[in-house]
Structures are given as C-alpha cells and as structure tokens.
Structure 1
Amino acid sequence: MSDDGSRAVSIIGFIGSVFSPWYRWSGRRDPENHCCINVATYGPSGRFTMTDRGRAALRQTPDQLTVGPSSMRWKGDRLVIEVNEISGLPVISRVVGTITVTPSAVTDQELLLTDDGAHVWRPFAPVSRIEVDLGKHGQWSGHGYFDANFGTRALEADFDYWTWGRYPTSQGASCFYDATRRDGSELAAGFVFGADGTATEVTPPPKRPMRRSLWTVRRETRGDAGTKPKQVKAMLDAPFYCRAAVETVIDGETTTGVHEALDLNRLRGPWLMPMLAVRVPRRAGWRF
C-alpha cells in the first residue's frame, strides 16, 4: 500500500491456482498444469490480471518462480517481481513493470491452519517496503508484506469462512487469522511482528463487525473493545471474496491495513465457476 493510502497492489504466485475454475474442472490432479501470477492494482487506472497457464509456462529454481512472461526472484535481500500480463474485463490492457519488496527481516514463523497440517500459513516478511513501477498503472512506494500459503486439499474442503488482516504498527505489524473449519472448530490466531523479524503469538483483540461487502460477504476483523473498524478503500469485491483497506484500532493505535474475507460456502457452489471463467482465462499453450 502506498504511503499516502491512495494506491495498492497485490501479486500472488499460484502453483495449483486455488480460485481457478479450470483447475477445479480438471479435478485438481495436476497443480503444475494450472499456475498463475495474479496481479491486481488499486487506485487510479486499477487493473486485474489472472491467467491460468499450463505446465509449459512454469519454471522454478531455489531463488526464482517464473510463470509465462512474469517472474519473482530473490536478488540479494530483495524480492524482485517482473510482471507482463494482460488485464481482464472490464478494461483489457497490458500491465508491465517491476515491484521490489525489501523485507526488514525474514521470520521463522509458521502456523498450521488445520490440526493435520493440510493447510499452512508462512508469513515470511510481514514488515517490508515496496517500490512499484508499473508505468501508466502507477509508480509509488509504500509499506508491504510477503507471505505464503501451502495446502494439500482444496480450501473449501476444510473451511466454511475465514478472514485475515495485516496492520502496520509503530513497532512493526500485527496479523490476525480467523477461520471456521467445516468440522465446526474455530481458528483464532494473532501475531505481533517486529521489524527485526521477531514473532510473538498473542491473544487477539475482540472480533469487531464490519459492513458487508458489495456482494454481501460477511466481514469482521480484530480491534479494541468498543471500536468500529471501517473500510477506507475498496479493492477487490467478488461474490465469495472481498479485499479492502480497513482502519481499526489495536492496543490504542489507529492503523490502516489490508483485510480479506472469504466465504468458502459460496466458493463451493458450482454456479460460481462459469462466472470466474470470464475473469480467469485459460492459456495452456505458453512456450518460452
């Protein structure tokens, strides 16, 4: 997110693209045949790109992930992301440029989201700086975040609903992960991350309700008792998912971070897949 709060960007590298209808329709038997580098920009000239590519587009080394024309690579202590994608409807255009993520430190924290370890959250660098140069789609700097999720089962197989939030603070960042599993159990995790990479698990502040999204996805986040979190910038709004910049209060400190809410019951419905196919084209024939 930019320092002035006017712009933001999200980049996700998928091997086994969990939100791809093509991956679901394939039976999810071959994740490397459904890979993607998803780029979404927010603010003036915002764009959304999410192209499902085949295994011929995938290249991996210990320091680099390449999917078709886009890549992520470690260069010293920085993660350099080169994007060259085409945005989907309603505005089709090329999104080209470089995003550089510089962590203040890399953590050793890992969280099992299910007891059997089928889903794992790995917050590599919760406190980072980013430099964005996407030409006409934005040139700015701000605070950033780098994490990963790993799984051996579909999200909707194990979860009904979850929310996640990362909020910058004067000491570093606070992250909250809440989920309702399909067996009825609850995940309620909170972490405070220092700029030096230290991670402290904490009891999260109370859940605070928020206004539903435009697609009426239920939303809640963590905040001090008696406070009312609010959306300050719309980002991504879908029938099953919402991402937004949200202002809340944590330990008396007002902070604006990125919040996500995911309704897995909706994602589970077959009616959603044809809608997603419009936004997520399949390009299986990429060649280097």
Structure 2
Amino acid sequence: MIAFIGSVFSPWYRWSGRKEPQNHCCINLVTTGREGRFTMTDRGRSALRQTRDTFEVGPSKLTWTGTELIIDVDEWGALPKLGKLKGRIVLTPAAVTQAELRLTPDAGHTWRPFAPIAKVEVDLAPGHKWTGHGYFDANFGTRALEEDFAFWTWGRFPLKDRTVCFYDATRLDGSKVALAVQINPDGSVREVETPPPLVKMKRTPWFVRRETRCDPGARPKGVFSLLEAPFYSRALMETTIDGEVSVGMHEALDLVRFRQPVLKPMLAVRVPRRAGWTFKD
C-alpha cells in the first residue's frame, strides 16, 4: 500500500507538467489471489485533506494515533479486476526511527525509513485477512524519478534480531547508489559500510532485470510475485544475510522504460483520473 501526494507513476500527473502535486493524489493498494485488486485512482486537490495526524485522499484515510498507523480503505479496483476493496489495515511499529538518507547528493531524493520493523493486521473485503510483519517508509523528491535515475532496486529483509534494507541504484549520470542499513528493534539505524555482494536474479516476465544483495556464494530467488509491469516488479524474495535465510519485500524499477511515452496511455487504463470529490463532513 502506497499513499501519494504527486503520484509519481500517474500519467495524468506527467501530462499535467507535474506542477501541482496536491492535484494528483492517490491511495495505491495491491492484493493478490482470486479476489486480488489493483487500486490507483488519481484524485484532484479537492480530495486531499491533511492534519498533523491524518491524511485523507477521497474515501480513504490514514491516521497516526501515536502508537499505530490506522489505514481505512475504501477504493475501487482498476481493470481487469473491477470491484470494491474496503476495510482496515493497522500497522504497529516496534519503534520509529529518526533516520533520513539521501539518494542524491543534493537531497533532491531522500528516503525516510520510519518503521522498518512493524506488526501489520489486514482486514480487507473481499477475502483478505491476515496478521504478519511489515514496514512503513517514505520517499520524498523535488524532481521526477526518471530525471535522476535509470534503474534501482530496493529490498527489506527481516532477520531474527534486526532488519536490513538495501537501496541500489544507477543515476542518469552513471554514478551509483549502494546504500545498506541495519535497523534494530529499538529504532536505532546504522549504515553498513561493506554490504554483501550484489547478485543478479532471473528477469521478470516483462524482462525487467532484478538484483539484490546476499552472502558470497548464496543465490537469491523469487518466492512470490506481487506486481509485474513493463517497467516495475514487486515480489517476495529469499536471500541470505550473515548466514541467515530471510524472505522479504523486493522491488525493481526500470526508469529508462518508464520514460517511454508509449507507456503513459497504457498506464491510464490502470490509473483512472477522478478530479472531483466532496467530503460529506
């Protein structure tokens, strides 16, 4: 689940010139299985409402209670699987970190891992109810991703006494990002000076390349695909870190492909524009 102000993957935001991020907001959810849905409705400025502890986009709302992030969902699935996706997600962090990490030297893109260790409870209709581990992070940027990056991968892997996250990217100028951090249950964050080697994996059905980090000699592998697109992949990945096997969330993003104009009309089918909204209270 991703909440956007300035929906970076919205063709409508791109076609608008990206001058008014508040006029292109959305709540993106992806569920899998027989009743799986993909929701990413691009909504206008009238659908956005914020306070210190709440963030609303149309009928959906995020609320921070001081100890929990409560996400009330009321969205509509896009093609090819139409239908409601409604319910609640509750995320309870083990701790909230104070870390903020630059992805470009000028901090034009930054990553904020608020709570990489958290408990998540999901109760969404139709047919999605479970409890497990998860995370809460955020990305902030003053430029479009494709203006600065050609490709990136990201992974979050829980271990028995900590969680590790990897950001690996190639910027358009050819420079590299090789960021590895370790997060402890108390919220302390430490950069890993010598991360494990970066290893290539099997490409996706759309031939998006993938790679992640693992111990020397180990072979990471995909466990379960969550979302595949011509420029993007999100999946559960198995890797080995410090001798411990971990299954975590992994994404790969090909921004050279994403820049291609032909993709924007294709995305518009999955990302409908709903400019008008009126709050009833």
TM-score interval (norm. to shorter): over 0.9
- The 5-angstrom pairing of residues 257-268 of structure 1 reads 257-268=248-259
1:76 & 1:35 partners in 2: Cα distance? 24
> Runs of 5+ in structure 2 lacking a partner?
none
Where does structure 1 differ by over 6 angstroms across 4 or more consecutive aligned residues?
A: none
Q: Which runs of 5+ in 1 are unaligned?
A: 1-10
Q: Within 2, Cα distance between the matches of 1:97 and 1:172?
A: 30
Identity %: 62
Cα offset for 1:252?
A: 0.3
Deviation of the 1:287 alpha carbon: 1.1
Number of aligned residue pairs: give it.
278
Q: Is the 8 A contact 2:24 2:43 kept in 1?
A: yes
Please name the residue that 2:154 is paired with: 164
Among 211, 221, 242, the residue aligned to 2:202: 211
**In the alignment, which residue of structure 2 is the partner of 1:224?**
215
Deviation for aligned residue 1:76? 2.9
SS at match of 2:9: coil
**Structure 1 residues 34-73: aligned runs within 5 Å:** 34-73=24-63
Contact 1:166-1:176 within 8 A present in 2 as well: yes
TM-score under structure 1 length normalisation: 0.95
1:161-195 Cα offsets, whole Å, 9 max, x none, are 00000001101211000000011100000011111
What residue number does 1:141 align with?
Answer: 131
1:82 aligns with 2:72: yes
Counterparts of 1:130 and 1:44, CA distance in 2: 22
Please show how residues 1-288 of structure 1 align to structure 2 within 5 Å: 11-202=1-192, 203-288=194-279
The amino acid that maps onto 1:92 is: L
For 2:263, the aligned partner's letter is L
- 8 A Cα contact 2:36 2:81, kept in partner: no
Q: Could you tell me how far apart the structure 2 residues matched to 1:76 and 1:150 are?
A: 22
Distance, in Å, in 1 between the alignment partners of 2:84 and 2:34 is 15
Residue by residue over 1:104-145, the C-alpha shift from the partner in whole angstroms, topping out at 9 and shown as x without a partner, is 000011110000110000000000000000133311100010
Measured in 2, the distance between the counterparts of 1:286 and 1:222 equals 44
Give distance in 2, aligned partners of 1:89 and 1:149.
27
